[in-house]
Amino acid sequence: MEFDDRLKLLKKARATRSRQEAVDKAWRKIGQSPDLTTKEKLEKLISLTRTGPEKKEKARVAEPDRPEPFQVFENHFSLRSRYGRVSIGRGLSVKGQTLSLLSRDQSFENLDLSSSLFLDLETTGLSGGVGVIPFLVGLGFYRESKFHVLQFFLGDPAAEDELIQELRLLFSQVKFRSVVTFNGKAFDLPLLETRFILRGEILDLSGLPHLDFLFAARSLWGHKHESCRLYHLAREVLNAAREEDIPSAEIPFRYFQFLRSGDFSLVEPVLYHNQEDILSLLGVVIVGASFFAEEEERAEERLADAMDLFGAAKILEKTGEFEKSALFIRRALEGGLSGEASVLARKKLASYFKKHQEWEKAVRLWQEMTSLNQLTCFRELAMYYEHRAKDYGRAKQVSEEGLELASGISRVYEIDFVHRLDRLKRKINRQLAETSEK
């Protein structure tokens, strides 16, 4: 069965249940009138539950502000549409190998985003716990040449059972193979799992490969942007024209105000925020994945600057891809990487060369960084000259320079250089004695 057909069946089943509930409620109300005959009761039931246009209009006029206890909002986006600078459809080209890098989970190796569920919750509290209710469950996924966004909204917390059942039915019908979130490992997924367990249900999403992109985002852009909040990354990384966002702390307050007043305009910005977060999450995953794309000639994949390449190098380093990490660092430095990121990049590259005994390259980098007063580079040079080159005089000179720089700044390096100098002096004296004997 195609996805659109499944979705229609889910909607039809929900409409049927809602219709039956309305009929049952009306019949109970009518039953409280003992003066009516059975025929009169049936006629009144038909009148109260008629679904024609005229009756619908009268119901809206009679109760204009009455919120629905449970609603589902649906939007879909064509694969050709763009969110900021990225194409929505580009996510379908992200390979499982790249998802494995970003998630540090090999379970993604044979997967792609076509079977992923993008999940984002808005809740009655920010700290988690049994008392916190997800009043808005936002879901994003690819199906039938579109990217769909479904939002399950609780107009009344008492309807949470219906919300859980609708989600359970959707997850059982649409077999997602992985989950993508932003801080979802610590918050969204555990909270949703708790709500399912409280109702004796099993969350089908539990145990699926999970890409929590918050951690990858911090590695990719933590050194580049002042904030790794999803809203901020959408504007800075995607150039998305998101409107001014509402603070996370304000979202529960708005929902409670809505419950008291029935004023839906209070939660409309929350619905916007939730949908934008799902689209933003898709967008930053696409951009982050593009840094590792092999087909460099494609214009959409040339999204990385020097700072981005350095972030990609950190991802590769954390997953043990040291050779590729070094390649990305070199590309970043060649691309004009500067400032503190440049220093850190050169240190990482020098460590790579040291590990692979490419001493000439490592020494050149350490020497470059001594002019930047990097104590660790003085120490590395001193160790190289003492233990590898056996040039005790040069090692002593570098150690003295390091000690002078460390004095009053780092007690650890002071002690290291003092001990090193004592040992070097003994080695130099022994070497002089051996020379004189000859």
Query: What tens digit of pLDDT does each residue of 189-241 get?
Result: 999 999 999 999 999 999 999 999 999 999 999 999 989 999 999 999 999 98
Tokens 């049994």, residue located: 130
Average pLDDT over residues 166-193: 94
- CB count, 10 Å around CB of 198? 12
Going by pLDDT thresholds of 50, 70 and 90, the confidence category of residue 46 is: low
3-state secondary structure of 73: strand
- The Cα 201–Cα 193 span in angstroms is 9
Phi and psi at residue 280, to the nearest 5°: -65, -40
Q: Encoding tokens for residue 216?
A: 């990858």
Whether pLDDT at 243 is above 90: no
Average pLDDT over residues 353-367: 95
Q: What is the DSSP letter of 373?
A: T
- The Cα 93–Cα 50 span in angstroms is 49
Give the pairing of strands 210-212 and 178-181.
Answer: parallel
- The Cα 85–Cα 80 span in angstroms is 12
Whether pLDDT at 304 is above 70: yes
Question: What is the model's pTM?
Answer: 0.80
Whether pLDDT at 60 is above 50: no
Query: Which amino acid is located at 15 in the chain?
Result: A
Task: Assess contact for 90 and 178: CB atoms under 8 A.
Answer: no
Q: Encoding tokens for residue 381?
A: 């040079």
Going by pLDDT thresholds of 50, 70 and 90, the confidence category of residue 129 is: low
Q: Any residues with CB less than 8 A from the CB of 438 and at least 6 apart, and which?
A: none
Mean pLDDT of the chain, nearest integer: 86
Query: What is the pLDDT at residue 57?
Result: 39
Centroid of chain to Cα 325: 22
Tokens 């003092």, residue located: 418
Torsion of CA 402, 404, 405, 409, to 10 degrees: 120
Q: Which of 270, 211, 209, 213 is nearest to 237 (CA)?
A: 213
- The Cα 3–Cα 5 span in angstroms is 5
Query: What is the pLDDT at residue 438?
Result: 62
Least confident of 14-23, 69-78, 85-94: 14-23
Query: What is the pLDDT at residue 228?
Result: 92
Partners of 217 in the beta sheet? none
- The Cα 19–Cα 1 span in angstroms is 25
Task: Assess contact for 141 and 175: CB atoms under 8 A.
Answer: no
CA-based torsion, 189, 194, 195, 199: positive or negative: positive
Helices within 204-243 (DSSP H only): 213-221, 230-236
CA distances 64 to 31, 60, 217, 262, Å, are 26, 5, 44, 10
Homologous superfamily in CATH for domain 69-288:
Ribonuclease H-like superfamily/Ribonuclease H (3.30.420.10)
For the chain, the domains span 1-64, 69-288, 357-437
Query: Which amino acid is located at 39 in the chain?
Result: K
Query: Which amino acid is located at 91 in the chain?
Result: G
Query: What is the pLDDT at residue 23?
Result: 53
